């Protein structure tokens, strides 16, 4: 892996910090910003990130629509709590998720 992956976090309900602390390999990525209901959404358009990591479970349709409206490539979007989303992003999964932590990293969180 060349350098750290740049991650933009989208977290409207406040789950990301604990999840990132528990299930990831911090030396392999850098959080370049966090989008919340109160934050400036410009970060998402600045394109200074590799993956948009979305921490929402109950509003998938809303976030799918937002991503599509903003012309963000699906290859750059990961839903943190969905195992299928990680399996379609193997580079991010192998770089970010710690498979040895808490019995399997992201997969145990699901």
The model's pTM is: 0.85
Strand partners, 15: none
Is 109 buried (19+), middle (13-18) or exposed (0-12) by CB count in 10 A?
A: middle
pLDDT digits (tens, 9 = 90+) for 63-109: 899 889 989 998 999 999 988 899 999 989 989 998 776 544 444 44
Query: Strands, E, within 3-56: which ranges?
Result: 5-10, 29-35, 51-54
Could you tell me the two tokens for 79? 């839903």
Better-predicted residue by pLDDT, 8 or 105: 8
Provide the phi-psi class of 73: left if phi over 0, else alpha when psi is between -120 and 50, else beta: beta
pLDDT digits (tens, 9 = 90+) for 24-74: 999 999 999 999 888 877 888 787 899 999 998 788 888 899 889 989 998
């Amino acid at each position: 892996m060349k350098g750290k992956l740049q991650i933009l976090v989208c977290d409207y309900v406040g789950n990301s910090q604990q999840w990132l602390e528990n299930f990831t390999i911090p030396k392999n990525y850098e959080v370049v910003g966090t989008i919340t209901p109160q934050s400036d959404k410009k970060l998402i358009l600045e394109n200074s990130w590799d993956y948009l990591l979305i921490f929402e479970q109950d509003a998938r349709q809303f976030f799918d629509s937002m991503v599509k409206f903003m012309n963000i490539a699906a290859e750059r979007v990961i839903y943190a709590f969905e195992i299928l989303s990680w399996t379609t992003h193997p580079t991010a999964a192998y770089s970010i998720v710690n498979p040895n932590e808490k019995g399997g990293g992201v997969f145990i969180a699901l």
